[in-house]
Amino acid sequence: MRSVTTTDFFTHCCKNRRNGPAGVHWLLFCAAVLSLCLWGGLLAPPATAAQAANAEVGELRLERAEDGLYLGANLQFDLPDLAEDALYKGIPMFFVADAQVLRDRWYWSDRLVAETTRYFRLSYQPLTRRWRLNISAVPFTNSGLGVVLGQNFDSYDEAMASIQRFSRWKIAERDVIEADAVHTVNFRFRLDMSQLPRPFQIGAVGRSGWNLLVSRSQRLGAEPAR
């Protein structure tokens, strides 16, 4: 029964592609990804998919500075088994962190004064057994528009520790943070399925084994009167 479903999925993925060398290459790509999914168990049934356990923001720190507001955080989570398996098979994983700063208003809904996003791309090179982490302020599909920082790691644990640690991330300019007002900071970190190859996006829809989302909100009080 799995073969019937898989055939439909493969046909949907590859139909409407033009003939010729480009079309042949796309068909070969689809076949390779489909084979990897089946034999590697990346599209396992939901009943056997594992969720990220005890995912949380262990600590969230807010720091006012002369040039703006900075955020520090330590995340605590285990990457879902399906995502980890995909990494070891050479398929990059993408993550997104975003922070919102809202000014509290008693007479109306809170006002959004700042919002920023950070993008992560983690990949594994089986030949060298090295891990590569890239960080960008824009999605990696548009990475040419901004600066991309890269780091190499010898182990999976080192790479994940770097992803889970946020140190002095500037989330707002100084002039948008009112000294005498209370603000709320909403922080969120998630696994981004939208940047994976299309077959994986389709196969992962609704499957708990791909779920990873941690979030936390914290109040930033008014500055003490001087």
The overall average pLDDT reported for the chain is 76
DSSP annotation of 49: P
Residue 18 CA neighbour count, 13 Å, CB half: 3
Measured distance CA(49)–CA(209) in Å, rounded: 4
Any domain includes 226: no
Any domain includes 45: no
- Look at the block and give the residue holding tokens 């891990």: 131
Say yes or no: 95 and 162 in one domain. yes
Residue 129 CA neighbour count, 13 Å, CB half: 2
Are the CB atoms for 84 and 92 separated by under 8 Å? Answer: no
pLDDT digits (tens, 9 = 90+) for 68-86: 999 999 999 988 888 898 8
pTM, two decimal places: 0.71
Say yes or no: 105 and 181 in one domain. yes
Say yes or no: 81 and 4 in one domain. no
Any domain includes 19: yes
Range of the domain at 6: 1-40
Question: Has residue 4 got a pLDDT over 70?
Answer: no
Question: CB atoms < 10 A from the CB of 210, how many?
Answer: 25
Any domain includes 131: yes
The strand order across the sheet containing 93-103 reads: 148-153, 130-136, 111-125, 93-103, 183-191, 213-220
- 143 or 7, greater pLDDT: 143
Say yes or no: 207 and 97 in one domain. yes
Token output for 77: 């989570």
Say yes or no: 67 and 36 in one domain. no
Helix (H, G, I), strand (E, B) or coil at 150: strand
Any domain includes 50: no
pLDDT digits (tens, 9 = 90+) for 14-30: 444 444 444 544 444 45
Are the CB atoms for 60 and 222 separated by under 8 Å? Answer: no
| Total structural domains within the chain | 2
Are the CB atoms for 187 and 99 separated by under 8 Å? Answer: yes
With a pLDDT cut of 70, the percent of the chain lying above it is: 67
Any domain includes 46: no
Say yes or no: 81 and 112 in one domain. yes
C-alpha closest to that of 197 among 49, 17, 13, 19: 13
Say yes or no: 73 and 164 in one domain. yes
pLDDT digits (tens, 9 = 90+) for 171-222: 999 999 998 999 999 999 999 887 777 766 655 555 556 778 899 999 999 8
Say yes or no: 17 and 93 in one domain. no
Say yes or no: 33 and 135 in one domain. no
Say yes or no: 96 and 190 in one domain. yes
Measured distance CA(1)–CA(133) in Å, rounded: 39
Say yes or no: 24 and 131 in one domain. no
